[in-house]
Structures are given as C-alpha cells and as structure tokens.
Structure 1
Amino acid sequence: MSKNSKSMDSYKIVCCLFFFFFPQFLITVSGSTEICSSSACSWGEAKVRFPFRLKNRHLRQCGYPGFDLFCDSLNQTVLELPNSGKFSIHAIDYETQNIWINDPEYCLPKRLLTLNLSGSPFTGVFYQDFTLFNCTSDYKRYQLDPIACLSGEKYTVFASSDERAISFLASKCNLIATVAVPVQWTFFEPVMSSDLGSDLLLRWAAPLCGRCESRGGRCRLKSNSSTEIECSNVSRRHGLPRGARYAMTVGAGVPAILFLVGLLCCVCGRVKRYGMQRRSVVEFTSMVTPHATTISGLDNSTIESYPKTVLGESRRLPKPDDSICSICLSEYRPKETLRSIPECQHCFHAECIDEWLRMNASCPICRNSPNSS
C-alpha cells in the first residue's frame, strides 16, 4: 500500500470519528441551506421562506417569531392571527414585505366584521371605510352588488363606501356596521356597492428584509439569537432592477445605433465622388453633433411624494384602460410596484416613472406638468 493511500484512509477515519462525536456540526452546516429552504403546501401555493416558516416542515430557527404558517386539509397555506382566526394566504412579496390573505371559507365580509390585527406583526397598508346594510326588499333594480354569503332568501346585505349610496340605503335598510377594510390602493373612488371579496393587503415592518431581498440575498436569524437577522447569499445573478435595466438600455442602445449609422454612412461615402463624400461628411457631422440641452426634471423628494402601491392579484386599477406601462410597454403583473401622478392619476411602473420624472417634469401620456412644489 502506498503512502498516499494510507494518508487518505487516515483522513477518512478522522472525519468519521469527528461527525460521530459532533453530529450537531453537520446539522449546523447543512441545516441552514437544506432544512430552511423554500417550501410550499402544494403546486401553485405561495412559496414559504424566512421570515415565514411552515410548521412540521421547517425548524423553529428557520422563521421569525409570529410568522408561523401551516397547510390545511386542502393543502392551502394558512396563517392564524391571534385575535381573528385563520386566513388563507394567496401571495407573499418578500421584497416589499406585503402579504395577500382571504377567508378559506369564502366569506371574507363576515370575517371583516371582527377583524383585529393587534397581537400580530401585520398591519393594513391602506384602509377604506365600508358600511354594511341589511335590506329586506329587492334592490336588484338599483344595480347594487349583494354580499351573497351574508344574504338569505328574504333579505340581502350590501356594502358601500359612497356617501350617496349609504344615505339611500340608510333610509331603506337596517345598519349592520361600518368597518375599515385593508384595500390595495392609495387612491380610489368611493365604491357604490361591493361584495368585499377581494384579497386583503397586509404588510409587516419587522424583520426588515426588503433591502436584502432586492439585492438577491436571503434573510436569516443570526446564530444564538431569536430576533437579530443577517443577510446572506447576496448575488447579482437575480438581475438588475427595472429602472437600472431601462437606464442601461437607453445608455448603451442609443450610442450603438448612432455608431452603426455613422459606420454605414462612411462606407457609402467612400463609393461616391470626393466632392459628394465631403458634403456627406459635413451633413452627417451636423446631424449627429449633440445640441446643448437642459435637463429639467423633478427632485427625488417630489417624486417620492407621489402615490406608490403594489398591484394585487386582480390587477384592478383606478382607470380600467391603464393595463400597460407607457414607458417600458410591459403589461402590469401582480405584485409589481406602481406609482401614479396625482394631477392626472396615470399609472406607471415605479422604476420607469422615477427615471422619467428625473429627466422630464411632465406626464409621459398627457404631457401635463405635475406640481413640483
């Protein structure tokens, strides 16, 4: 047996003895990457990772206190609020720290009557007051949307945030309650009638992992701590933000096109006579010579004051025709962050309109100048 073979056998024996007497070392090394990896109750359900954890699938140190989830009998992802009971989770955005929940029994209006977020790490992002009425007459001719799960054969329940509708229903029906509903928009028109079945938008403030997630990293608890966190596995492989991609496209694409045009003009010019070539070069030079321009945009504090929101699963917008960002020409998708211009309420991707307003103090669609004060 060679000397190298003996050394290799000795190394294997030492490793086996080490992990036999210190198995917790192996768990510490591999547990954070395997046991605490993302999981889901079923295909199509929200992916669960820190600060959340799935009971019976993740160890306690894989999640943050108060963020325990579990899978019900239908393999739905369920969150249990201390003072309001169980809610199904429809989506989680770890970068914006938003979560969309609904009633697993498909009667969210009933749950709203007793909704209490105290004692949980979640709060509503935007609230809108809705008043519920119990009406014994047939109000179908008024084109109001009934709340089916609260209505019966001889009575119908309606909910509205519009003062005129509330005044009308108050004179005809019995008042049930007025509840503050966590809605999904910072700007909205009063709703004549709603079935209140849309997902509720909630947000958590701690632990603060949004910046880590935006950089492609993952949050986790520090060793020997139950509340302190750290950011790990920060990588650029997850791509650049939309605004950076937009700026890089404009910055690199335009000079490249000008270079190709110039090269083509030079090649064609060599074929022509000397006099025509000289005139072409002069015309081309005057065409591509940049003119002095003054960039007059808005400052960051003004831009940040404009309403900003996260698009829900229903992709419901204040203006039904606003389904595509007019700057990048991409269709809006759920959980994307949008920003609107208050004067005209036109919506755009937040990254796109931020870049635009820094260079142009006007709306890309209607060209109206926003109030820069």
Structure 2
Amino acid sequence: MSMKLFKARFTSGAHKLVRTMLIYSLFCFILAVNVAEAVSIQDDCKVRRCNHQDPPVRFPFRLEGQQSPHCGYPYPGFQLSCSENKQTLLKIPRSLKLLVKHIDYEAQRIDLFFPGRCLWQQLLDLNLSAFPFVKEQPGFSRLKVYRSQLAESKYTLFECSSQDKALYSRYKVACLSTPGSQIIAFPSEYYDYPENLLNYSYFRNFSTPISPYGIRFQLRWYKPDCGDCEAQGRGCRLNNNNSTKEQTECFYIPKHHIGLGERLMVAGIVLGSSIAAAIAIAVGWRYRLDKKEKESQVKIEKFLEDYKELKPSRYSYADIKRITNHFKDKLGQGGYGTVFKGRLSSDVLVAVKVLNNFKGNGEEFINEVSSMGRIHHVNVTRLVGFCADGYDRALVYEYLPNESLEKFIFAAKGKDRSLSWEKLQDIAVGVAKGIEYLHQGCEQRILHFDIKPHNILLDHNFNPKISDFGLAKLCSKEQSAISMTTARGTMGYIAPEVLSRNFGNVSYKSDVYSFGMLLLEMVGGRKNIDVTVENTSQVYFPEWAYDRLDKGEEFEIRIEDDAQTGIAKKLMIVGLWCIQWYPVDRPSMTVVVQMLEGELDVLTKPPNPFASTDPTKTMGATIPRKPVNRDLPTIAEME
C-alpha cells in the first residue's frame, strides 16, 4: 500500500476512530488507576503486626507508619508503634512506653507490660493531662491493675535517712533511693503513719491510675463501641458518610483478603482486556470500511471507464493539491465536501470540491460527474474535470467570482437589495432555461432535486449557473416519474410528493416546485419561512403573497416604478403556479420560461395552493381539498 493511500485512510473517518480509541483507552486507564488507588486506600487499613507473635493491630488502633490516620480512632491512646526490635508499643504522654501483649477486640481490653526497672521514675515525670483514661473522656476510660484494684491511686513520698530503712522497708521505693537516703511512699488511704513521720522530709505527692508496684496492666476502653461488630464476626470502622467524625459502622470482612498485588493484577487484566477489545473493534471497523470503500472504488472505476468518450479531464490527487496551492483558499463548506479556489493556469481559475472520504458508496461522486459531464449549457456550471485517485475524490468546476444567489437576495434587514428587479428577472429566466435544458435538452432527463439559492452561482456578469448535482437522478425523457426510497433535497424547497406519495409520484415537476419557492424568495428578499417578522401573517411568505394577490393589495416590497412592480408581480404569479400542491397542476419548465418572457397581462391568477378543509388555517402546511386520483407511471431510477 502506498504512503498516499495510507495517509488518505486516516484523514477523516480514521481520525475519528483514532480519537475515539484514545479516549476509550484513557478512560480504561483512569478506571484501572482509580481501582488501584481505591485498593491502595483500602489496603493500607488491613491488619498489621510488628512481628508474628505480637497481637494484630486493627481498628480502633492503628500502627504508626504502616496504617493511615483514618484507619484508627481519632483520639490519643489508639496509636501504636513498632520498636526497633519489632515489639508493639503503646506510648503514654510524655515518655512512658508500654509493651502490648494482647488485645481483646470483642471485650475491648488491652494487656500491657512495663519493660523498665523503675516505673516510679516514669510515673513521676508523666503528664497525663491529655490522655483519655485519666479523665472520663472517650478512649481508655477505666483501668484495672493486676496487683492493685485501685482505679486511681494517690501517693505521698517522703525522704528519710538510711538508718530507718528497716522500719519502713515495705514502703521503700528502691529505685528512687540512694545509699545516703531512702524514699518511702505512703498511699493516701494509709492512716497509720509513724510518730516520727514529721521528722522525715516531704518529697512530693502524685496520683496515677497505674500502680507503680505492678509491671503488667490491663486497660479497657468503652468508646468506640465495636464489641457487637466483633461478636458478629464483622469489622468495625469510621463512618465517613456521617457528619460526626467519631461515628462507627460495621462491615463484612471478606473470607479471603485480596492483596494489593492481586488487585492491581485484576485491574491490569481489565485494562488489557478493554484495550484488546477496542483494538478488535477497530480492526473490524477498519476491515468493513476498507471492504465498502473498495467496492465503491470498483464501482467508480467501472463508471469512469465507460465515461471516457465524454472526455472530462482526470486529475491525480497531486494535481489537485497543486491546483489549489495545497488547499490554501477555502471558498465554502457543504455536506458532501469542502470547496477550494484553484488555478489551472495564470488566467484560468477553478473551484475544486474535495469530497468527504468514506462517505456513502460513491453515488454522490458518480451523480455529479455523470450529470454534469453530459451538460453543455450557459446556465449550468461547467465541469472542468475530476479526481478519483484511490480514496481521494474531487470535482473541478469553472470558477464563478460572484458566488451564490443566496448572498444577494437575502439582504440584511433595512438594506436595499443589491440586485435590480431587471437583473432578478434575467436571473430567473436563466435559471428556468437551465432547468428546462436538464429536463428536455439532454439525451436523458436530469432531475436536480436541490434547486435553491445556494446552488445558483453567478458569473462576473451575474449570469446564473445551476450547480451541485450530488442529489441528481437520470431517467428517460419518455418517463414521467421515478421511484425513490427516501426523500432528498433541502427542507423548504422539497416538493410535497417527495415527502408523501399522497400528493402524487415524484417526477420532473418536483424541480418545478423547488424553482417556484426560489422565485418567491427572490421577490420577498427573505426566506419563505421567517419567524422574525413583526407581522405573524407574514411568517409563511408564499401564503401571505397569495392572499395579497387575491385581494389586489400591494406587496409592501420596496419598488421604485410601475415597471418594477410588473416584474415583481410576474415573478410572484409564476412562483405561485410552480408551487401548486399536486404535480399535474404545475406547469412544465418550458411553459415557465414562456411565462417569464411573456407579458404580465396574459398571465392568469393561479389556484390557491393553500386551500384547506379548515378555512381558519393560515399556515402553508395544510391538506388541500382535492382528492388524490392522479397516478403517474413509476419507473426505476437509472444508475
């Protein structure tokens, strides 16, 4: 496959696919990352241990450095840590460190052990003002000591000489005593003080919920209350959805805990599968598109082979880029492609319509070339050549500097129309003759199906030329109707029978209807349906115009003299004849040309095309009284 074909594949539909694939892959990646992040958030709260012999640490406790703050209860006392030799520690402000030996989560008790040699010294320096179990606050709210049943004990310490040590050896605090003096401690409940106690030196008072004589303790907490969750075999955690940060909730613990590595692997499999599925879909789409495009290309090549005798110039895609100076000067954008200004030579300008890639089955391209290649008329745009180079297709027309009629008849509100009434009549006659030629002047009848101001181009002398044959159909001149599976054209210009067969069969009279709507827009200088007008009766201009014509009233159009009035009235009468609801009531384009070139006096007033069974209706979308009994013969469309 050539580089040109490869590039062409990805210039339109393929670009969209690539963008869609990138967005889809990005979505899958973000999803996988979010899963991994959610797993990470959940995984950092799983049960931890300092070593395999120490108790497991989970809510309401958390292990510092291994579990995030949200994993534990947000009060002092629930934060544990690992020592340098991998032992579980509970730190009590400011300096007391107790080893954690066991945690009963259901009974909400924790067993602690003091590893040092002088608990008295630790308790003397201890500051328990911020610790929950000292005050009746949430957290460790009650203490039970193995060797002392006191919830909180008070002690008075005295200093005496070493000579009296035998008398009060049972109260001696050995680790605080020195060879020259000894420290003795009396509990506050002790009333049998010795007589010579006043001779002793007062050392200090202190109170503690921990017995300084014990080295092993059992603490109990009452809040948070997770005992019920533990009894049911469920976990306990903070309720993040609750406005109160201290509220807890129970949750089910999976029997098999999936680790972070396993979850990331699952996320990777999901991501990989999604990308693989997307690639498979893309490959299938690409294959289907290639197959469709190849069939279209074969169809086009066969048509062009049969079309050689008509001698339109065929250009390569490289020629098209050279002619348009690499698509530098854009003239307009349409549903089937983009039009660029080009130059064949120093004095020959062209308009190049580059068709959209991967659109349809080549029918629009074949229609345009086959229709315009047969036409040689002053009022039809001349096809200079075409390009059918692989996936690249383009049509080359003569360049018309004054663009389309739409630009001139739809003047801004309050401004004079830029074309005179005489020039408007010349344009109307020219368009009518061009359509007449399409219907009668070619070997086969060409039905345009998209007559509208946008498709009427003007040369340097404002001579009209019909363009854009993308919707055209060919049929024999002996036949008066064609079959159609779907409606085609632009709303507002489509004949009633194209939308509903209740009005008759589709024929060349459908172009007559579109031309009639074109004439009425030329007279009104505005779209036939205009909701911006001040008078609601003028919203649908054709019906308003017929009502004025029927009553002999003025048209409220800016006209300078009687001659211009006659032109406006003639164009309006012919337009109203052309938009009759039923095809058989419309004149042929040959008759239309005669009417436009003839005198106003010989024209008769047309029937009311807006008559309805409901006389109160004022809009044009009404049902005529006339029954439908005019069946025209139907023939198949010719390829």
Scaled by the length of structure 1, the TM-score of the pair is: 0.47
**Which protein is bigger by CA-based radius of gyration?**
2
Q: Which has the higher contact order (CA 8 A, sep 6+)?
A: 1
